[in-house]
Structures are given as structure tokens and as C-alpha cells.
Amino acid sequence: MKQKILIVDDLHPIFIEMAEALGYECNYQPKFTLADTLAVLADYEGLAVRSKFLVDKAVFDAATKLRFICRAGAGMDNIDEPYAAQKSVHLINAPEGNKDAVGEHVIGMLLCLMNNLNRADAEVRAGLWQREANRGHELKGKTVGIIGYGFMGQSLARKLSGFDVNVIAYDKYKTGFSDRYAREVSMEEIVKHSDILSMHVPLSNETKYLVNDEYLFHFKKPIFLINTSRGKVVQTQAVLSAIKSGKVLGACLDVLEVEKFPAVGEQPWFEELKASGKVLLAPHIAGWTFESYRKISEVMAEKLKNLEIQT
């Protein structure tokens, strides 16, 4: 009998095509809730999911035949990785699939913020022609500090190579990773030299609210801050306070501590965030391109193929 994969989130059709070519039977149910999933998961060897729900102990315990989980994206913070290891469930993610989207998005947001493009556009549409008030900053000559030098951090560094910037990177879990695009440094050097700081770390107990009041206080120069990783890596109120004090010149936030409405609108910091002319916001779309939609599914299917070869 064919092994079966339950797909409970929206995936590009190429994943089903490639998985079926490997001999799997796919059940595509992108509207399934957690309850729907728990009711049938015992019949499946594979699960494909994005971020719809937490894949926690209850899910694993219901999945008595589960061999693997495909996570359509980079982060694994919605999956209980230690319990997956206990259950001998292989975890497959696809950071290679959206690394280029993230790298381009960071540069797009940064250039937009540094040159006041959103504000200038709104003013012209409103009948205002304010050149001096919208004088921008150039990237050339700046030092860009990257925290986390995995697929996303490396992609950003490569894409910055034509801007005549100095790129430095810190990664707690890697050493000896200096390359033609970035120089490995300590966190102390990041804090001392950065003009721009871009976060590219997974969410964990160690990285939760890494960027807080104390962290920002230690930077030697005013910085532009970018977060396209996970919202809870950055404490929003700390960023707003640092903007007031001049420690942060502006922030590009593709992710927030709390996401989606109405929840985000109920946060005590949201009105101040919304009113700030020094913050550029996006609804968690850094890796969300038409191209990455397909590439993520292709990467997952290729890794599933490799898993079958290994086992």
C-alpha cells in the first residue's frame, strides 16, 4: 500500500506532483483545522503544514504512523522538535526556498525607509512637495550587522555586495564562516560598528526578546533596525522607546510580537507604532513571493526524496 501524506495548509501543486512521483498518496486539505487533523492523522505517514497550528505533543501522540513532517517555510518554532526526535519523526523545512525572497525584501524595506519613500509618496498624493523633509540616507559606506548567518543572512549579504557596504555577521552557533560577502565578528563588534542591524535568527528561548531596551542601549551609533525573522525576537516597545531617544533612526518590521488582526490592534504599543513615521510595517511577507511559493514546495519534495534514499 502507498504511504500517505496529509497536507493541511496551502502548498504549490508541484509538491503533490513530486511526492506522488515518489509513490506517495497525497490528501490535500488546506482548510483542515487542528481538530480535523487530529481526527484522521493516525492514518498518515506524513504531514505537511505551514504555521496553521502548533504541532505539539497532542499532535504527535495522535499520529501513530507518522514518519515525517514537511514544514513549508524556514522556521520550526511551531513544531515541538525535541518530542519529534523522541518519536523518531523526521522534520523537513525549506529555508532554501525563500532565502532570495527574504534577502530582496530586506533591501527593499531598507531603501524605502532610508529614503522616506512611503511618506514622500503619501505627501505628493496629498498635494505636498517637501524635498528637504524627505532627504534620505545612502547605503554606501554603511556597516550592516547581520545576526544569524544561515540561509537568510547569507542571502542578504550576497545581495548587499553591490552597494559598497561593509557587512559583518554574528552567529552564536557557527564559527569560521567569513566569506567574500561578510566578515565573522563578535556581538561586541556588531554593537560597536553597525549602522544597520538585520535579524535572521530562529525563535527560541535564547532569542526571544533578544532585542530589548538593554540590548539597544549598548549600540554605539544610531541604527536602522530590520526584523524579518520572528516577531518575538524584537520587543516592540523597546524599539519605539529607542526611536524616541534617537538610538534607532528607523525600523523595518515585517514581523510583530503579535500578528493578524484584531489581535495586533489590541496591543498597547500598536497605536504608537502605527503613528510613527520612522517605522515601516509589512504583514509577514518577506519570504512570500510567487517564486518562493513554488521553490519551497520543490525543496521539501527533494528533501523527502533524499529521506527515502537514506532510509
Residue 137 a catalytic site member: no
The whole-angstrom separation of Cα 290 and Cα 284 is 15
Given 104, 123, 189, 259, the catalytic residue: 259
Where does residue 89 rank: exposed (0-12), middle (13-18), buried (19+ CB within 10 A)?
A: buried
**DSSP sequence for 237-279:** HHHHHHHHHTSEEEEEESS-SS-STTTGGGSTTHHHHHH-TTE
Residue of 273, 266, 290 lying closest to 238 (CA atoms):
273
Given 71, 96, 230, 257, the catalytic residue: 230
Residue 119 a catalytic site member: no
Where does residue 92 rank: exposed (0-12), middle (13-18), buried (19+ CB within 10 A)?
A: buried
Residue 96 a catalytic site member: no
Please list the residues that pair with 47 across neighbouring strands. Answer: 6, 69
Please list the residues that pair with 69 across neighbouring strands. Answer: 47, 91
Given 50, 158, 193, 284, the catalytic residue: 284
Angle in degrees, CA 115, 200, 139, rounded to 5:
25
The whole-angstrom separation of Cα 247 and Cα 45 is 51
Q: Which cell is 303 given? A: 528533501
**DSSP sequence for 57-105:** HHHHHH-TT--EEEESSS--TTB-HHHHHHTT-EEE--HHHHHHHHHHH
Where does residue 162 rank: exposed (0-12), middle (13-18), buried (19+ CB within 10 A)?
A: exposed
Hey, which residues are catalytic here? Answer: 230, 259, 284
